[in-house]
């Protein structure tokens, strides 16, 4: 985490969650500053403080005093919590600002699509329509007993959870003693008017992004999907800084949990309006995430995940009542969290293995989920070997001088044609910064063009080279062309960050293959999942030797495979059993203590196959 | 419920929960008014508004504007919620005031004692001390798995609830990998340092009063007990008015539930300090109450309990996680609620049947729990017949002109010696009003003295008679003698209230005996439970023909038998099974539709055996 401090060149404004750092002159307000950097904030009143559309929150650093305009829109508690209007607030020193997605004119790109394989439909909840005999002074059975009796006539004797019982008297009388009881094994988890459709919610909680899918649980069809940013970003960019936040703040775990739940409830509300469904119709939830996200969501402690030997509280699957987590779904619904494999190979990787069906293939397969931590599984000859590589946040645009997340204006593709860099940005607008796939392309291109050597050192004296802080840099987008009065650069440090990231991933692949006794060219499939993995150019990834130089048709980019796995686990209890089998079966390979790790990593920092 | 309205004689102040109504002149503040009526409020600063010891809350009616002194002690929210200082607040019209027990110099008398029969000790939770192998990079089992493995070595493989898991990583590391796991059947519900003692909490939630017992659950010993008022009184004196409150207010059920839980948490805190125990050591809770209290505590709807045919949501026993109810005990602890029998024969009656061992006697036994509703069970020849009688609140001092609850200054005993009424008050202070046992004595004495006839009409022209609102009344305590400038009377209406109450109870006894085919004199035992039942004079109760004229040694006054039953159920799963058997076995007799009810009731309104 960068601590804010004054710099000579001006005041640094770090815009979260899009991950853009900008330098502004003293006295400039945040609305203007963001706009000049190409980050378009909403501003319905034109920056007059007459509306709250440019609502932001200061996370670190000092802003100018609160104005009356801001007092009109925010409560005392909100003001204390750092809520401000961008048009009113002027940074007094380096600041970190949280920009909620509603305040952005164009949202960040979120990866929602993923493969949808055939699923053996076998949902955990089913609806049973019954008619119940109303009570009389001669038949004084309780509401619960008479319902249980009615269900027993068509199914086995159920148990009714006490949260569910709370709505029973009303719904029985409102619907003239006919209703649909929702059974989850032998437990009644919900009541609805007869023949009401049942839905489930699948959620992928990424460290950065959230994806949620509303699924018709009887049909197995996704009826709506939505993405949003993980609001925990305001408390730490990566899992390590979130653990640090929780360790430092007594109620930190609860804060991170409730911020996340609040956003998930909002997403659920949107999904329900999209599909014309009520939240009471959501009877089951599946949440996947890495082990830290999993623990924070469930309210488990995370301190021990930040300390060697990084053990999770538990690896078994968890079922929690949704109401206990304040998720606004049917009051008796459960949340299923798939098993974790280890402290740094979480339920999201299990979900990815489920959706890619890696476990049922005879082919030797590498499944790679690239993120701040990259999880890799090698499936070969009935074995599953998994590891986690600390690939770092470079591919999320962090730790890169002009890096940013995959939001509008991000350079996402770089091609060198006749020695000249051709850029493509998200939204086809003038470039604002570089996102993960862009920086990978840029570095790969610079290698091919001979602008970089294998150690990552700038070669020759290309006119596009300049010095920044005494180190070399390459002008990717000159100020004159991008209209922002500021060159967009690829620095020597940026190249080093990519070396660290790709080196970690490649070392993971090497060691897994070594442990599996598999020669490189015996890999039949290399599956790449995750948002970054979807957008990268395979050629570039091979160029920088992040991936082995296999025939290109062996690579598959599968999108949000964790989200797809969450959907699979929502509609199939058979796959839940499979997930538990997988988690038990996986041989976890700890890289950091592996005898080959250091040697391999040192070698893989260089750009050579 | 009496709506406040101005009266000619002054302003009426109704003090809750002690149930005292007083008339005061306009302009008098609440502190002075209460004192003149004999209700001693705390006042450390002498009524100067310099402390908040005379803290009260206005429930209905208008008081003088809030003073600066009050702003010093209460937040805006508290002020809006009616919190005031009695020394600052002057009633502007008839008001209903809630006096918290801390604001009273002497607390109301609460019935805590009850029989303690031998119990087959068989607690639902047990402690297992284990040592767990710490994790290393070679042994990466999760915290949960390694604990489960350790427990399995000494017991069977347990399941760890997710609330409990939350504290596991910390307690394992804090205690160097040794701990006491608390098992509830196969579920781990808590973790404590090794060899820590386990406690349980038994609670009797009465409509008016609360009693709580802290029990060493392995030894079966009560280590501390405490009583308090049910804070729901501020929302309705009896179950009918509480149901009405919930029906009228969207969030009413939640309000009543959370007020109750808040007071229970306070009581628990006090019990723990008394006994030097931490709340984390409370691993099991048993709560008993009538069906309405049961439903409100558990958060079940009560509307249908107020409408014929008065069916409960459920009659089966309920186990709820304490954390879900916000009870501040060990995070994984459960609350056990014994079964209900019917809408008006609740879990408290089942608990009473448990503690009095009525189910294991060969003797024909009547067990009577007197309250606003009186539940009666007849045990005879292996059968259990139960009914509920609407005896009304007269025995709580309500609906009686000078009635009050059993608080200091209440006339609790009346004896006529040589024609003169001798009074005994609680706390031996000048009489303030009459509580239930006092009014029963007074009416019984007036009957014996020939001051009343069998229909309840005042006889003769005793000099102590006077007219109130055109109806006769008897001066029990003349103003000149009690020092309050106000006669304490027994009016014709008061006598009628006692007739209604005792008539209902006696009709219940008659019909149960009829249904059981038992002649009156075959009743071997008549057990009287409850606070009122503990303090009444059996002779007076027989005199007014509330109870049959059986030999006196057949009567037993057992105190808080429901509370005692709750304790029994806390330490014995055998008795829990017995409670469930009893609830299934009871033959519920609905009085209101019984063919003999009207005839019997009309007859039993009179004072004759």
pLDDT of residue A361: 82
- HEC sequence for A430-460: CCCEECHHHHHHHHHHHHHCCCECCCCCECC
Closest CA to B572 of B207, B217, B68: B217
pLDDT at position A46 over 90: no
Dihedral, CA atoms, A599, A605, A606, A608, nearest 10 degrees?
A: 80
Distance CA B124, CA B285 (A): 10
Average confidence (pLDDT) over A394-417: 87
pLDDT bucket at B109, cuts 50 / 70 / 90: low
Distance from CA of A320 to the nearest CA of B (A): 7
Digit-coded pLDDT (tens) for A337-365: 999 998 889 999 999 999 999 888 889 99
Q: For B190-210, what is each residue's pLDDT tens digit?
A: 999 999 999 999 999 998 889
Q: Among all chains, which residue has been given the structure tokens 């839905």?
A: A199
Q: Is the CB of B324 inside 8 Å of chain A's CB atoms?
A: yes
pLDDT band at B106 (very low <50, low <70, confident <90, very high): low
Give the least confident one: A550-554, B237-241, B339-343. B237-241
Q: What is the pLDDT of residue A517?
A: 95
Residues of B in contact with A143 (CB under 8 A): 304, 311-314
- Among A473-482, B279-288, B595-604, top mean pLDDT goes to B279-288
Per-residue pLDDT, averaged over A390-411, amounts to 86
Residues 6 or more apart from B398 whose CB is under 8 A from it?
A: B19, B237, B238, B392
Top-confidence residue, A18 or B340: B340
- CA separation for the pair A606, A186 (Å, rounded): 58
Among A180-184, B353-357, B401-405, the range scoring the smallest mean pLDDT is B401-405
DSSP secondary structure letters along B179-232: EEEEEETTEEEEEESTTPPPEEEEEEE-SSEEEEEEEETTTTEEEEEEEEE-GG
pLDDT at B110: 56
Q: Do A170 and B324 touch (CB under 8 A)?
A: no
Is residue B121 within 8 A of residue B59, CB to CB? The reply is no
Name the pLDDT band for A110 (thresholds 50, 70, 90). Answer: low
Q: Is B135 on the interface with A (CB under 8 A)?
A: yes
Give the closest of B142, B311, B313 to A312, CB-based. B142
Q: CA-to-CA distance for A502 and A548, rounded, in angstroms? A: 11
User: Partners of A7 in the beta sheet?
Assistant: A10
Does pLDDT of B118 surpass 80? no
Task: Output the average pLDDT for chain B.
Answer: 90
Is residue B5 very low, low, confident or very high in pLDDT (cuts 50, 70, 90)?
very low
The yes-or-no verdict on residue A5 having pLDDT over 60 is: no
Query: Residue B18's pLDDT band (boundaries 50, 70, 90)?
Result: confident
Q: How far is CA B518 from CA A26, B364, B389, B586, in A?
A: 96, 9, 19, 17
pLDDT above 70: residue A206: yes
Per-residue pLDDT, B366: 97
Torsion of CA B486, B489, B493, B496, to 10 degrees: 160
Cα–Cα separations (whole angstroms), residue A1 to A6, A43, A235, A243, B328:
16, 30, 10, 12, 37
Q: ∠ CA(B518), CA(B524), CA(B525), 5° rounding? A: 115
The percent of residues in chain A predicted with pLDDT above 70, rounded, is 96
Nearest to A371 by CA among A353, A354, A346: A346
Chain centroid, CA B586 distance in Å:
23
Q: What percent of chain A has pLDDT over 90?
A: 64
Give the percent of chain B with pLDDT over 70. 96
Residue A82 has pLDDT above 80, yes or no: yes
User: What pLDDT, on a 0 to 100 scale, did the predictor assign at position B1?
Assistant: 37
- Inter-chain touch A136–B160, beta carbons under 8 Å: no
Average pLDDT over residues B29-49: 81
Give the nearest partner residue to A143 out of B170, B313, B590, using CB atoms: B313
Q: Is the pLDDT of residue A151 over 50?
A: yes
What pLDDT is attached to residue A78?
83
**For residues A177-190, average pLDDT:** 94
Query: Which tops the pLDDT comparison, B235 or A192?
Result: A192
Per-residue pLDDT tens digits for B364-418: 999 999 988 899 999 999 999 999 998 888 888 888 999 988 888 899 889 888 8
Per the CB < 8 Å rule, is A137 touching B593? yes
How close B201 gets to chain A, by Cα (Å)?
21
B-chain residues near A162 (CB < 8 A): 298-300, 318, 320
pLDDT band at B33 (very low <50, low <70, confident <90, very high): confident
Q: A478-514 burial, b if ≥16 CB within 10 A, otherwise e?
A: eeeebebebbbbbbbbbbbbbbbbbbbbbbbbbbbbe
Q: Per residue in A490-530, pLDDT tens?
A: 999 999 999 999 999 999 999 999 999 999 999 999 999 98
- Do B442 and B434 touch, CB atoms closer than 8 A? yes
Read off the pLDDT of each residue in A542-548 and give the average, rounded to a whole number: 95
Distance from chain centroid for Cα A491: 28
According to the model, what pLDDT value does residue B39 have?
Answer: 77
Residues of chain B with Cβ-Cβ distance to A316 below 8 Å are: 142, 144-145
pLDDT at B4 over 70: no
Chain B residues inside the 8 Å CB shell of A588: 140
How confident is the model over B95-105, as a mean pLDDT? 80
Buried b (16+ CB within 10 A) or exposed e, A112-137: bebbeeebeeebbbbbbebebeebee
Bond before B309 cis per omega within 30 degrees: yes
d(C-alpha B440, C-alpha B466), whole Å? 20
CA neighbor of A261 nearest in space, from A205, A325, A320: A325
The shortest C-alpha distance from A548 to chain B (Å) reads: 29
Q: Quickly state the pLDDT bin for B3 (edges 50, 70, 90).
A: very low
Which chain B residue's Cα is nearest to A168? Answer: B313
Q: What is the layout of strands, in order, in the sheet containing A465-468?
A: A465-468, A471-477, A488-491
Whether the pLDDT of residue B235 is over 90: the answer is no
What is the percentage of chain B residues whose pLDDT exceeds 90? Answer: 64
Mean pLDDT, range A553-573, rounded to an integer: 93
| pLDDT for the residue numbered B571 | 96
Compare CB distances from A137 to B144, B309, B314 and report the shortest one's residue: B309
> Does residue A261 have a cis peptide bond before it, meaning omega lies within 30 degrees of 0?
no
pLDDT at B316: 92
- pLDDT, one tens digit per residue, over A284-329 is 999 999 999 999 999 999 999 999 899 999 999 999 999 989 999 9
Selected for mutation to probe chain A from B161, B313, B315 (highest A CB count within 10 Å) is B313
Radius of gyration in angstroms for the set of CA atoms belonging to chain A, rounded to a whole number: 26
DSSP A378-392: EEETTEEEEEEE---
Write the residue in B145, B162, B314 that is nearest to A165 by C-beta. B314
CA dihedral for B565, B566, B570, B576, sign (positive or negative): positive
A291 contacts chain B (CB < 8 A)? no
* Touching B: A residues 333-392, CB under 8 Å: 340, 342-343
Q: Do A309 and B136 touch (CB under 8 A)?
A: yes
Which residue is listed with tokens 């039942």?
B533
pTM for this one? Answer: 0.78
Tokens, residue A541: 């990834």
Q: Say whether A312 and B143 touch across the interface (CB within 8 A).
A: yes
A83-85 and A221-229: which strand pairing? unpaired
Query: Cβ–Cβ of B144/A168 closer than 8 Å?
Result: no
Q: Residue B455: pLDDT band by 50, 70, 90 thresholds? A: very high
Asked if B115 and B222 touch (Cβ cutoff 8 Å), the reply is: no
Nearest chain B residue (CA) to A170: B301
Residue of A136, A145, A314 lying closest to B309 (CB–CB): A136
Gap from B144 CA to chain A (nearest CA, Å): 5
Residues of B whose CB is below 8 A from A136 = 309
Query: B342 vs A140: CB contact, 8 Å cut-off?
Result: yes
The residue-averaged pLDDT of A244-269 equals 95
Task: Check CB contact of A135 with chain B, cutoff 8 Å.
Answer: yes
Distance (Å, whole) CA A375 – CA A239: 14
Please write down the HEC assignment for all residues of A187-219: EEEEEECCCCCCEEEEEEECCCEEEEEEEECCC
Is A137 in Cβ contact with B590 (below 8 Å)?
yes
Q: How far is CA B32 from the centre of its chain?
A: 29
At residue A114, the pLDDT reads 64
Q: Does B311 touch chain A (CB under 8 A)?
A: yes
Q: Which of A77, A135, A142, A304 to mutate to test the interface with B (most CBs of B within 10 A)?
A: A142
Contact A135 B301 (CB under 8 A): no
pLDDT band at residue B182 under the 50/70/90 scheme:
very high
Asked whether the beta carbons of residue A313 and residue B343 sit closer than 8 angstroms, the reply is no
ipTM metric: 0.75
A170:B316 CB<8 A: no
Sign of CA dihedral A575, A577, A581, A582: positive
Mean pLDDT of chain A: 90
B606 touches chain A (CB under 8 A): no
Instruction: Determine contact, residues B19/B36, Cβ cutoff 8 Å.
Output: no
Name which residue leads in pLDDT, A397 or A190. A190
The size of the A-B interface in CB pairs under 8 A is 124
Beta bridge partners of B365: B379, B525
Segments in A107-221 forming alpha helices (H): 143-154, 162-165, 168-174
Cβ–Cβ under 8 Å, residues A108 and A17: yes
On chain B, the residues whose CB falls within 8 A of the CB of A137 are 308-309, 590, 593
Q: Which of the 8 DSSP states describes residue B426? A: G
- pLDDT reported for residue A190: 94
Contact A316 B162 (CB under 8 A): no
User: Lowest-pLDDT range, B35-49, B119-133, B431-445, B586-600?
Assistant: B35-49
Chain A partners within 8 Å of B77 (Cβ): none
Question: Tokens 């009914």 label which residue?
Answer: B387
**pLDDT tens readout for residues B280-315:** 999 999 999 999 999 999 999 999 999 988 999 999
Distance CA A284, CA A273 (A): 18
The residues facing A149 across adjacent strands are none
The answer to whether the Cβ–Cβ distance between B313 and A144 falls below 8 Å is: yes
Q: Can you give B506-550 as a three-state secondary structure string? A: HHHHHHHHHHHCCCHHHCCEEEEECHHHHHCCHHHHHHCCCCCCC
From B165's Cα to the closest Cα of chain A, the distance in A is: 7
Q: Does A314 touch chain B (CB under 8 A)?
A: yes
Q: Do B142 and A298 touch (CB under 8 A)?
A: no
d(CA B95, CA B97): 6
């Amino acid at each position: 985490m960068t601590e804010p401090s004054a710099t000579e060149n001006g005041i640094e404004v770090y815009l979260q969650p899009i991950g853009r750092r900008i330098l502004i002159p003293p006295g400039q307000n945040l609305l203007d500053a963001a706009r000049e950097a190409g980050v378009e904030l909403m501003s319905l009143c034109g920056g007059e403080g007459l509306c709250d559309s440019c609502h932001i929150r200061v996370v670190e650093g000092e802003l100018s005093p609160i104005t009356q305009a801001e007092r009109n829109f925010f409560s005392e508690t909100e003001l204390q919590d750092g809520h401000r209007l961008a048009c009113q607030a002027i940074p007094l020193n380096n600041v970190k600002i949280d920009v909620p997605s509603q305040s952005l004119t164009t949202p960040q790109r979120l990866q929602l699509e993923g493969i949808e394989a055939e699923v053996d439909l076998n949902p955990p909840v089913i609806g049973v329509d019954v008619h119940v005999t109303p009570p009389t002074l001669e038949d004084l059975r309780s509401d619960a007993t008479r319902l249980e009796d009615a269900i027993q006539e068509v199914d086995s004797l159920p148990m009714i959870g006490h949260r569910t019982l709370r709505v029973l008297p009303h719904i029985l009388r409102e619907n003239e003693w006919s209703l649909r009881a929702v059974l989850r094994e032998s437990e009644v988890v919900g009541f609805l008017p007869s023949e009401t459709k049942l839905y489930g919610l699948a959620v992928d909680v990424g460290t950065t992004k959230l994806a949620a899918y509303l699924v018709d649980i009887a049909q197995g069809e996704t009826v709506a999907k939505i993405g949003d940013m993980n609001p925990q970003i305001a408390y730490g960019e990566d899992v390590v800084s979130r653990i640090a936040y929780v360790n430092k703040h007594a109620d930190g775990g609860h804060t991170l949990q409730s911020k996340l739940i609040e956003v998930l409830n909002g997403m659920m509300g949107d999904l329900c309006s999209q599909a014309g469904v009520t939240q009471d119709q959501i009877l089951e939830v599946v949440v996947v995430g890495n082990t830290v996200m999993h623990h924070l969501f469930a309210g488990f402690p995370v301190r021990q995940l930040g300390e060697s030997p990084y053990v999770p509280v538990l690896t078994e699957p968890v079922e929690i009542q949704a109401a206990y987590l304040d998720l606004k779904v049917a009051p008796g619904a459960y949340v299923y969290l798939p098993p974790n494999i280890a402290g740094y190979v979480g339920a999201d990787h299990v979900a990815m293995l489920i959706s890619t069906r890696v476990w049922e293939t005879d082919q030797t397969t590498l499944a790679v989920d690239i993120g701040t931590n990259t999880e890799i599984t090698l499936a070969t000859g009935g074995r599953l070997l998994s590891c986690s590589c600390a690939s770092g946040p470079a591919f999320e645009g962090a730790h890169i001088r002009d890096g940013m997340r995959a939001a509008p204006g991000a350079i996402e593709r770089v091609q060198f044609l006749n020695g000249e860099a051709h850029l493509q940005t998200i939204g086809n607008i003038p470039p604002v910064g570089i996102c993960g796939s862009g920086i990978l392309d840029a570095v790969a291109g610079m290698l091919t063009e001979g602008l970089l050597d294998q150690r990552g050192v700038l070669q020759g004296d290309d006119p596009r080279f300049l010095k920044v802080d005494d180190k070399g840099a390459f002008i990717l987008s000159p100020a004159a062309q991008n209209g922002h009065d500021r060159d967009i650069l690829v620095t020597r440090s940026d190249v080093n960050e990519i070396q660290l990231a790709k080196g970690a991933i490649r070392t993971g692949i090497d060691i897994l293959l070594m442990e599996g006794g598999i020669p490189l060219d015996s890999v039949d499939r290399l599956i790449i999942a995750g948002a970054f993995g979807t957008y990268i150019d395979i050629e570039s990834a091979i160029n920088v030797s992040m991936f082995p130089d296999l025939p290109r048709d062996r690579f598959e980019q599968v999108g949000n495979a964790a989200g797809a796995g969450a959907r699979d686990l929502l509609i199939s209890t058979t796959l839940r059993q499979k997930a538990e089998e997988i988690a038990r079966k996986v041989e976890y390979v700890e890289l950091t203590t592996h005898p080959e790790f250091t040697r391999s990593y040192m070698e893989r920092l260089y750009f050579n196959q």
